[in-house]
Homo-oligomer: A and B are copies of this chain.
Amino acid sequence: MTASLLTRLRRSDEVTDSEAVRLAGAVSRMESFAPRATVCRAHVPLDVSKLLIDGFVSRQCTLLDGRRQILAIHVPGDFVDLHAFALKYLDHDVVALTTARLAVVPHEQLREITDSEPHLTRMLWFATTVDAAIHREWIASLSRSAMARVAHLFCELRARLEVVGLADRSGYALPLTQIDLADATSLTPVHVNRTLRQMREAGLLDFRAGRVEIGDLDGLIRLASFDPRYLYLDRTAR
C-alpha cells in the first residue's frame, strides 16, 4: 500500500526497512472514491490522514462567486492531507478528480511515529514542506502568461508522476477535463482550450482523451521556465 510513498521518500533520503515496516503498519484501512467525491471537507476536525494510492485528487476551495479554485493536484504516492496531522483540520476541501484509492493513517499512529522515530518524522515533515514549495511555485506561476501557466502545470505533473513510474519523456495519463485545468490555473475553460490548441499547433504537447502526449519536452520546459529543483528530488540525508 505504501509502495509509491516509499519510492518517493527514498528518492529524497534513505529509508530503513524497519521504518518502511512502521509506515506500512500505520495504515488502518483503504478507501475508494468516485470522481467528484469529497475525500475530506474544510474545517472539519480530522483524526486520520490519507495517502493517495491511485487516481488523482485535488485540494480545492469554492470562492464566493461559486468558482472552484484548485490549490494543488495530488498524484499517487502523495500523503495528501498529512498537513492535517499538525493542523487538526484543513482549510480546504480534498476532492477526487478521478476514481481514487487512498490508504487511511490514523493520527494516533503518526503521533507514535513522532514519539519514537525521529528520522521518519523528519521525512514526513519534509514531505509537507515540499507541498509548501509546490504551492510557492504555483503562486509564481500564476503571475505569468496563460501559455506558461498551463505548460508549467504539465511539466510539474510529468516530473512528479515520473518519480512513481507513471510518466516518461513522451507523456502520461491524465484523465482530467479542460475545466479541471482551468480551475487549477485560474483561467477560463475557453482560454485553456485556446491555449491547448496553440500548444498542439506548436508541436509542444497534445492533451486529448485523458492523456498528455508530449511532442517537445525541452520546448515545453523552456516555455514554462520549469526548474524542478523546487520538487527536491535529489538525495540528501534529512
Contact = CB atoms under 8 A, between A and B. Distances in A.
Interface of A: 43, 59, 61, 63-64, 67, 69, 71-72, 83, 86-88, 91-92, 114-115, 118, 121-122, 125-126, 128-133, 135-140, 142-144, 186, 225, 229-230, 232, 236, 238
Contact of A91 (B114, B125, B133): B133
Contacts of A114: 118, 121-122
How many subunits of this chain does the assembly comprise?
2
Tell me if A's interface is mostly helix, strand, loop or mixed: helix
A128 B61 CA distance: 21
Contacts of A130: 87
Contacts of A126: 86-87
Contacts of A232: 87-88, 91
A88 B138 contact: no
A173 to B, nearest CB: 25
Contacts of A83: 129, 132-133
